[in-house]
Amino acid sequence: MSGVRHLYVHLPFCAHRCGYCDFVTLVGGDRELHARYVDALLAELELERGLLDDELETVFLGGGTPTFMAPGELARLLAALPPAGEVTVEANPETVTPELARLLSRNGVNRVSIGAQSFHMPLLDVLERRAGPEDVRRAFHHLRDAGLDNLSLDLLYGIPGQSPSDLERDLEEALALGPEHLSCYELEAKPGTRFAHTHGDELARQSEAMEGYFERVVAVLTAAGYRWYETANFCRRPELAGGRDLRARHNLGYWLGHDYLGLGIGAVSTVAGRRWRNAPKLAAYLGASAQGERPAREVEPLDEIVRGRERLLLGLRLDEPVPLAGIESALDPVALARLERLGLAERVEAGLTLTERGRFLGGGVTAELLA
Amino acid sequence: MDQSRIRNFSIIAHIDHGKSTLADRVLELTEALSQRQMREQVLDTMDLERERGITIKAQAVRVPWKGHQLNLIDTPGHVDFTYEVSRSLQACEGALLVVDAAQGVEAQTLANAYLALENELEIVPVVNKIDLPQADPGGAAAAIAEVLGEDPARVLRISAKTGEGVPEVLDALIERLPAPAGDADAPPRALIFDSSYDQYRGVVAFIRVVDGTLESRQALRAMALGTTFEAEEIGFMSPERRPVERLTAGEVGYVITGLKDVSRLRVGDTITAARAGAAEPLPGYKDVKPMVFAGLFPTDSDAYPELRDALERLKLNDAALFYEPETSQALGFGFRCGFLGLLHMEIVRERLEREFDLDLLVTAPNVAYRVLERNGDWLEVHSPADFPNEADEVEEPYIKASIIVPKEFVGAVMELNNERRGSFDHLEYLSEERVLLVYELPLAEIVLDYYDQLKSRTRGYASFDYDLIGFRPGELVRVDILVAGDPVDALSLVIHRESAQARGRALVERLKDEIPRQFFDVAIQAAIGSRVIARETVKAKRKDVLAKCYGGDITRKRKLLERQKAGKRRMKQLGAVELPQEAFLAVLNIGDGGKK
């Protein structure tokens, strides 16, 4: 059996917790704590190394804010991780200095995902983001100057108070930088977040006015030469990028149902029909590591039916058909027939795919398709 | 017993004026029950009756008083059971008319008083609840005396609650009521005024022997229906069954028939001997017909057999209940049920839900219509779905409504009745303050939200009663509701041509609010035949995606979609449109008159 080829590393530290965030994050921490955390990550890596393939396809450092880490510790971690074809780090604009950009580049990072979110100050304030539009542009140029030729920008839309022209301007500003990749998410007020508490009602009120924003995002970006390859992700088309396939290979691994190993607090792994999630507690994680033990984990076995469903729900996010071989039992044939009649889903030679309208309704359509 | 020492009587009263409490005191006083045995309101045997304070099934109790045999025949207290009330009254020579000292004369008081007078009963008027601080016994006595043309001094004043004045009531029954005057030597004739079903012994008929003698083990015949049976047991209630060898002219009691089907022994029929029986039945038998209809469907379609069994069992005790299987595209398998009136419908529905633990969907009630067919026959239609698109002549049932209100609400009541196609009959001042309004109205205008409207427009002060007065021609049309081009049979309604547009529009607008957005535009139309009279569109959803899905939250996203799918499985189909159960119920409720 071939080993796991995708590695995720969770770096939970942030300067500040944004109101809308529902990830596992920790505010602050000094170099000493960061050092102990990196030790623990590397110890967990050693414990699980047997699961990994000799050659990794991707490594992804997510957070939190990976670039908030003490630079020495970040460099130590990067140097110690196994090499891979794509190594991505998430970065907050205000943390990207020329030094940091060079540090990443020197340590094998070849892709950076920048959390821009918006270029409009009042909206950034609503999101409680620290970086301004200038920080985004500066960070982008620093990374370019350090030789990184695969940069992604994260944008949010549907922010309370965001007008249609605000949206157009955000897209324009992002495109002006010429990123290889864009992730565009509709802002959700996730239950329990501070943001939902403050802005939930306002979002609900605006939802009708903003329901065309998603269509607009797709229209603008595809017109600008980007491929809408996943529900929320866009990459420059190969013919406009010297033939490069600029899809995020790490995330593509998730969407294609590949196994992956996750290290760090709250990190999830899925390997050979088994999924586990490390407990999201820093002290316990460090403690277990000091004892030479695996961190506490919540384990979820995935039977064949569940795996089939996941293949379907992940695969249908992509612009390429999901092969149906082996997962027919996950599919509700009556629902499929109805959705085909409605022009939302299509069976093609290679499997099942959603039509363009079907992709805009992908959540509901996929739910219906599940057996 | 010698007929001269028998007195048969009923107690008639408006709801909550104390009929059952008075019955309890009578039993207690005559020691038919010891106080220790005494439960409140023993005559009402069903839980539902006890809870709602409504007497549904009449029964009869024999009590001794000063050397006499008194038979108290309990009557149902509501308009839906007018026929049963009239049979109970026919079994009596007199009635106690009970009026609440604080509330005074109400619509049902009048309806029942007139019914008693029509049956040539001697009426003993009683003002009850004189112990209440807000009681006005003088005023109530004057009002009731006025109605009866009686001397106010002869109106008895009592408190059934404390027992004050109750012995005098029993004395008055002996003094004022005539003794039965049947022919003791003639072939037997007994009036069935009520029946119930005993699951071990079959149909039990409650009877008043008018002529002759009925004996245990005698072969008997019901004259109108021709049903023959043997009297397995004969007896009287005290208040439990007490078997006896015979019941003689003037006496009241029961016959256990062993019949397994209540519909073979109808209230109002006459029992006589199978051999050498009477030639003529007692007058007044009527085949009562249901006038209000509604579809009853189990919420969970798997419960259809349970609903069928439950209806079968209810029918055993309720000969007036009618049902036949009905299939609806929207609601699946169920039954079209016929009821005497709205209360009857409510009671049946509650018993089904409570005693049989069924979850029901009930379509908006409609009345029985008569439609003239091309071949010249009149067809009776019980469901809007069967109502023809175009009919030359249509008739609908009418009622005569009596409404009593404080005079300041007369205008409001008139306005309501005008909106409901009512025609004014007359108006009467019952006292300085209280006015009786009599209107003729189509029954269809009552079955929706008339009671609610009447209550809200008179701040709860109106009392209301009605009598059916027959079928009359009406300008009626069927309005169909189409969702995404498909008619929703459960939402069709028959309505007066002039109201069709407004009701159609209101329905379509309410539906628009209830139907969640789908993957496609959903047209909602109201139409008469092929002519659309109102239209709305529920716009298609434009987006429905999970914003993010990465390695860390696949399980959560999958569960979200699985829940969504599970929800879909429970959805109800309205044409091509799927609706969550709650929206579906709301849509159905739109049918009940568009309560806003």
Co-location of A227 and A335 in the same domain: no
Nearest to B452 by CA among B411, B420, B500: B420
d(CA B243, CA B321): 30
Question: Do strands B270-273 and B189-198 pair parallel, antiparallel, or not at all (unpaired)?
Answer: antiparallel
Count of CB atoms situated within 10 Å of the CB of B93: 23
Q: Per CATH, which fold does B189-273 belong to?
A: Elongation Factor Tu (Ef-tu); domain 3 (2.40.30)
Domain with CATH 3.40.50.300 in chain B: 3-176
CA distance A254 to chain B (A): 6
To which H or E segment does residue B325 belong?
strand B322-328
pLDDT at B37 over 70: no
Which of A72-81, A199-208, B72-81, B156-165 has the weakest average pLDDT? B72-81
What percentage of chain A's residues is helix, strand, coil (to nearest 5)?
45, 25, 35
Q: Does any CB of chain A come closer than 8 Å to the CB of residue B559? A: no
**Identity at A57, one-letter amino acid code:** E
Residue B83 to residue B265: CA distance in whole angstroms: 15
Given an 8 Å threshold on Cβ–Cβ distance, is A313 in contact with B543?
Answer: no
C-alpha atoms less than 13 angstroms from C-alpha of B109 in its C-beta half-sphere: 30
Whether residue B460 is predicted with pLDDT greater than 80 in this model: the reply is no
Does residue A272 fall inside a structural domain? no
- Per-residue pLDDT, B595: 38
**A232, A310, A363 ranked by CB distance to B544: nearest:** A363
A199 and A345 inside one domain: no
Nearest chain A residue to B546, by CA: A363
pLDDT for the residue numbered B466: 81
Same domain for A80 and A147?
yes
Asked if the structure places residue A55 within a domain, the reply is yes
**Contact by Cβ (8 Å): B466, B401:** yes
Strand A274-278 with A268-271, pairing: antiparallel
Let me know whether A233 and A323 are in one domain: no
Amino acid at B550: Y
Is the model more confident about B391 or about B43?
Answer: B391
- The DSSP string of A186-211 is E----TTSHHHHHHHHHHHHHTTTTT
Q: Does A157 touch chain B (CB under 8 A)?
A: no
* A329: Cα separation from own chain's centroid: 29
Residue environment code for B31-49, b if the CB has 16+ CB neighbours within 10 A, otherwise e: ebbeeeeeeebbbbebeeb
Q: Tell whether the model's pLDDT for residue B258 goes beyond 60.
A: yes
Task: Residue B290: name the closest of B245, B345, B239 by CA.
Answer: B345
Q: In b/e form, how buried is each residue of B246-274, taking b as 16+ CB within 10 angstroms?
A: ebbbbbbbbbbbebeebebbbbbbbbbbe
- A240-274 confidence digits (pLDDT tens): 999 999 999 999 999 999 999 999 999 999 999 99
No. of helices (H) and no. of strands (E), chain A: 14, 16
Residue A100 within a domain: yes
Q: Is the pLDDT of residue A110 over 90?
A: yes
Same domain membership, residue A196 and residue A91:
yes
In a domain, residue A239? The reply is yes
What is the average pLDDT across A130-144?
A: 93
Q: Pick the last residue of a domain from A255, A271, A295.
A: A255
Q: Is the dihedral of CA A65, A70, A75, A81 positive or negative?
A: negative
Q: Let me know: does B516 contact B544? Beta carbons within 8 Å.
A: no
Instruction: Using the predicted structure, report yes or no on whether residue B129 has a pLDDT greater than 80.
Output: yes
Ranking A3-7, A208-212, B412-416, B576-580 by mean pLDDT, the lowest is B576-580
Q: Structural domain of residue A93, as residue ranges?
A: 6-255
CB contact under 8 A, A313 and B561: yes
In this structure, CATH architecture of domain B477-590: 2-Layer Sandwich (3.30)
Q: Work out the minimum CA distance from A158 to partner chain B, whole angstroms.
A: 11
Is the entire prediction scored with pTM above 0.90? no
Measured between beta carbons, which residues in chain B are less than 8 angstroms from residue A216? none
Cβ contacts (< 8 Å) between B568 and chain A: which residues?
367-368
Q: Which chain B positions have a beta carbon within 8 Å of A359's beta carbon?
A: 545
pLDDT at residue B415 is higher than 60: yes
CA–CA separation, B116 and A231 (whole Å)? 78
Query: What's the per-residue H, E or C state across B435-459?
Result: EEEEEEEECHHHHCCHHHHHHHHCC
- Contact assignment for A362 to B544 by CB distance below 8 Å: yes
- Predicted pLDDT at B432: 81
Classify domain B371-474 at the CATH class level.
alpha beta
pLDDT(B54) > 50: no
- Alpha-helix residue ranges (DSSP H) falling in B286-442: 304-317, 342-355, 410-419
pLDDT above 50 for B474: yes
What does the pLDDT average to over B514-543?
Answer: 92
Whether residue A48 has pLDDT greater than 90: yes
What total of structural domains would you count in chain A? 2
Query: Are residues A192 and A111 part of one domain?
Result: yes
CATH of domain B3-176: 3.40.50.300
Q: Are residues A105 and A228 in the same domain?
A: yes
Q: How many angstroms away from the CA of B507 is the closest CA of chain A?
A: 24
Q: Which residue of A has its CA nearest to B562?
A: A367
* Cβ pair B544:A360 closer than 8 A: yes
Least confident window among A195-199, A204-208, B571-575: B571-575
Q: Which residues does chain B have within 8 Å of residue A267's beta carbon, measured at their own beta carbons?
A: 552
Q: Does A63 touch chain B (CB under 8 A)?
A: no
- Confidence label for B480 from pLDDT (cuts 50, 70 and 90): very high
The neighbour count for residue A287, using CB atoms within 10 Å, is 14
Residues of chain B with CATH 2.40.30.10: 189-273
Q: Which of A94-98, A203-207, A282-286, B172-176 has the lowest mean pLDDT?
A: A203-207
pLDDT band at A199 (very low <50, low <70, confident <90, very high): confident
B552 with A268: Cβ contact below 8 A: yes
CA distance B245 to B217: 9
Give A-chain residues touching B545 at CB under 8 angstroms: 186, 214, 231-232, 359-363
- B517 contacts chain A (CB < 8 A): no
E strands within A279-344? Answer: 297-301
Q: How confident is the model at residue A147 (pLDDT cuts 50, 70, 90)?
A: very high
- Give me the CATH number covering residue A322: 1.10.10
Q: Which uninterrupted H or E stretch holds B404? A: strand B394-406
Domain identity same for A165 and A73: yes
Asked if residue A207 and residue A113 are part of one domain, the reply reads yes
A/B interface, count of CB pairs below 8 Å = 100
Residues of chain B with CATH 3.30.70.2570: 477-590
pLDDT digits (tens, 9 = 90+) for B58-100: 478 898 999 999 999 877 655 566 677 778 888 999 999 999 9
* A158 falls within a domain: yes
In a domain, A297, yes or no: no
Which of B520, B521, B541, B549 is most worth mutating to test chain A (most A CB atoms within 10 A of its CB)?
A: B549
The CATH number given to whatever domain includes residue A49 is 3.80.30.20
A346 vs A336: CA distance, rounded Å: 8
More confident of the two residues B110 and B159: B159
Range A71-75 average pLDDT: 95
**Residue of chain A whose alpha carbon sits nearest to that of B549:** A314
Which among B542, B551, B557 has CB closest to A360? B542
Distances (CA, A) of A306 to A362, A371, B443, B554, B560: 19, 10, 58, 11, 13
Q: What is the pLDDT of residue B122?
A: 94
Confidence of residue B513 (pLDDT cuts 50, 70, 90): confident
For B499-538, b/e burial (b = at least 16 CB within 10 A) is bbeebbebbbbbbeebbeebbbebebbbbbeeeebbebeb
Question: Do A182 and A247 fall into the same domain?
Answer: yes
Nearest residue, CB atoms, A364 vs list B544, B548, B554: B544
Structure tokens at B37: 């045995």
**Contact criterion met (CB below 8 Å) for A160 and A203:** yes
Is A27 inside any structural domain?
Answer: yes
What class has domain B292-363?
alpha beta
Q: Are residues A251 and A337 in the same domain?
A: no
Cβ–Cβ contact B520 with A under 8 A: yes
pLDDT for the residue numbered B84: 74
Confidence (pLDDT) at B39:
52
Q: Is B520 close to A231, i.e. CB distance below 8 A?
A: no
Question: Hey, of A9, A366, A369, which one would you mutate to test binding to chain B, going by the most B CBs within 10 A of its CB?
Answer: A366
Residues 185-214 of A with CB under 8 A from B: 185-186, 188, 211-212, 214
Closest CA of chain A from B570, distance in Å: 12
Cβ neighbours, 10 Å, residue B357: 10
Q: Is B566 on the interface with A (CB under 8 A)?
A: no
| DSSP code per residue over A235-247 | EE-GGGTTT---S
